[in-house]
Amino acid sequence: MGYYIPVERNVNLFVEDCDPGYGKPILFIHGWPLNHKMFEYQFNQLPKMGYRCIGVDLRGFGKSDRPWSGYSYNRLADDIRMVIDTLQSEDVTLVGHSMGGAIAIRYMARHSGHKVSKLVLIGAAGFTRRPGIPYGLTKKEIKRWEQSWSKLIAATYTDRPKMLDGVWDIFFARYVTKRLKDWFHGLGIEASGHATAKCAVSLRDEDVGQDFSKIDVPTGIFHSVQDKVCPFAFAELMHAQIRGSELIPFQYSGHGLFYEELEKLNRELIRFIG
């Protein structure tokens, strides 16, 4: 079922809850520039095994409201806190993909892991500007990351459909059908243009490196070695900095590992959550 949760005055987030009140809750935070529908192939399998899948559309994306402001990681993490408190959920597994992973990381630090018992980071944008640290990006790699996002931001304001085409060209490492790419393209088009651009600014400029040490729940890091959007170095960095984390490499996918290796991802997710 789907419903709306108010997170601040005149801002409501759309939430899809596969089975309210039943099963161990898994709260999914989607990546940029998609919405909760990206997790379709988790939502149609995990509930069979007793898990309650909860998907939220971040502000500006999917069916949620589209305010002009509020796209910093702090505000987006506060929105997640409002969703969790409204649902009165306990023992939550928080799952974030890409930017959703960065928001999940910020949530854990900013809200001391409130109600979350396990964290899963899927191709997470674990970006930090601190070059030279173990497993971190070099100064040159950081500059390249920032420049690529600056180009995406500029293209968002001039030809967003074409910009999205370019995203899907590097999103997948394996062959996917044109119709599947078209489906993902449609999810991206559903977002508001200003939210797409402003979240891209957050992806480029915000640093979650200082948050890693504040995570104190079991953390699974699911990341593809072929990821061209969020390099595997992000996964190595997070693994080195998050105490007791488990790194699960994916060999045969890109940034879309939740689809390209969906059977492995679902299997590893069930194993990790328990």
Q: Tens digits of per-residue pLDDT, 82-103?
A: 999 999 989 999 999 999 999 9
d(Cα 105, Cα 95) in Å, to the nearest integer? Answer: 10
Sign of CA dihedral 164, 166, 171, 177: positive
pLDDT of 137 above 90: no
Model confidence at 72, pLDDT cuts 50, 70, 90, reads very high
In this predicted structure, the answer to whether residue 21 has a pLDDT above a threshold of 70 is: no
Q: What is the mean pLDDT of residues 51-58?
A: 97
Indicate if the alpha-carbon torsion angle 18, 186, 63, 264 is positive or negative: positive
Confidence class of residue 134 from pLDDT cuts 50, 70 and 90? confident
Averaged pLDDT for residues 174-183: 93
CA–CA separation, 54 vs 2, rounded Å? Answer: 10
Mention the CATH class of domain 2-273. alpha beta
Res. 20: pLDDT tops 70: no
pLDDT at site 68 = 97
Assess whether 255 carries a catalytic annotation.
yes
Mean of the pLDDT values across residues 132-139? 78
Q: Which structure tokens are listed for 68? A: 């002009």
Name the active-site residue from 30, 223, 239, 255: 255
Q: If you average pLDDT over residues 104-133, what whole number do you get?
A: 94
| Range of weakest confidence among 54-58, 133-137, 263-267 | 133-137
85 is catalytic: no
Q: Quote the tokens at residue 130.
A: 């601190």
Over range 183-199, report the average pLDDT: 97
Q: Is the pLDDT of residue 53 over 70?
A: yes
Whole-structure pTM value: 0.97
Average pLDDT of the residues in 122-137:
85
pLDDT at 135: 75
Q: How confident is the model at residue 208 (pLDDT cuts 50, 70, 90)?
A: very high
The confidence score (pLDDT) of residue 224 equals 98
Note the pLDDT of residue 129: 85
Mean pLDDT of the chain: 95
CA 273 → CA 25, 103, 118, distances in Å? 10, 20, 7
227 assigned to active site: yes
Catalytic residue among 64, 89, 98, 192: 98
Domain boundaries, the chain: 2-273
User: Which segment of 49-58, 136-145, 218-227, 238-247 scores lowest on mean pLDDT?
Assistant: 136-145
- Per-residue pLDDT at 62: 98
The average pLDDT across 163-180 equals 94
Q: How would residue 76 be classed by pLDDT, with cut points 50, 70 and 90? A: very high
Active-site entry in 57, 65, 79, 227: 227
Q: Say whether pLDDT at 236 is over 90.
A: yes
